[in-house]
Structure 1
Amino acid sequence: MTITQSSRAWTVTISSLSGLPMLSCSACPVPAPVGSAVVRAVRRHLVHHLMECQVPEHLRTCQCRDRSCVWHRRQGPCAGRLRLVLIRADGGRTWHLADSFDACAAAIPHCATVPEPPLRIAATPGAEAPVVADLAEEPLEWFEAQW
């Protein structure tokens, strides 16, 4: 029996050991060293996990709600459409990529909605690979929660 994991939430923390930046990921067993483009490395790392976790929309849940809404102050009921969000926390040292309801996303400080990647489709010879949103680029709009 195979159980499908519906949790799409990853956290990457930037730390420094001996002056070298390291990425610690909630889904990876060992911290990884990175070069000078730390934020770009964080975002690309998160995209890698996202592309590996192809969960149909009807199986996804609000990861903020599943964590008792710890990413924001209470703003009312969790509601709205489920979206993929990128959250920058702790002054840019911690990054989350997760599914979140609209109401939660609007209440989370330093949060941006990012486009969903296409579901993986069986490759056909000569077909062009699907374009995937590059989280390494700065999101067009960061939401600032109104406290």
Structure 2
Amino acid sequence: MPEAAVGKPKRETNVKDLGFALILRGEFDLVDSVKPALHAMGISTWNCRSCEELASLLEQTEPQLVFTDSDLPDGTWLRVMRVIQNAKCRVNVFVVGKEPNTRMEDLVRECGGYRYLTTQFERELFQAEVRCAVEEVYEHRGATAMDAA
């Protein structure tokens, strides 16, 4: 495993082990736009239809990522953030909206989300952000596991 120039060794992120994402689909299925890019990276996905289903699947699957439409049949992305905050494991959340919105970008970050994006994203930039989000989860979970030992 290569070492970072300064500091601790950095974990290599291999496309094969990038992980798993839960996708919470809303009325307009905006998150469907991210699935092809995730699959191309080797990230498996599973669709959820409600915050309740998401909460149940979080415990069972421990995904690295959650992608959610901004508006949902049983709430909004804010409800998703509350569900995530109660999860036992670290998960990074991407909120997908219809159009660019600087206020939403800020609000998503303030509420603990990883990123707000629209359906019109640049694929290479998106994939780089996803890799960083997954890496952050692995690092956090590794640190948590070592702290518990």
* Same fold? TM cut 0.5: no
Larger strand fraction of residues: 1
Give TM-score, length-normalised by structure 2.
0.30
Greater share of helix: 2
Using structure 1 for the length normalisation, give the TM-score: 0.31
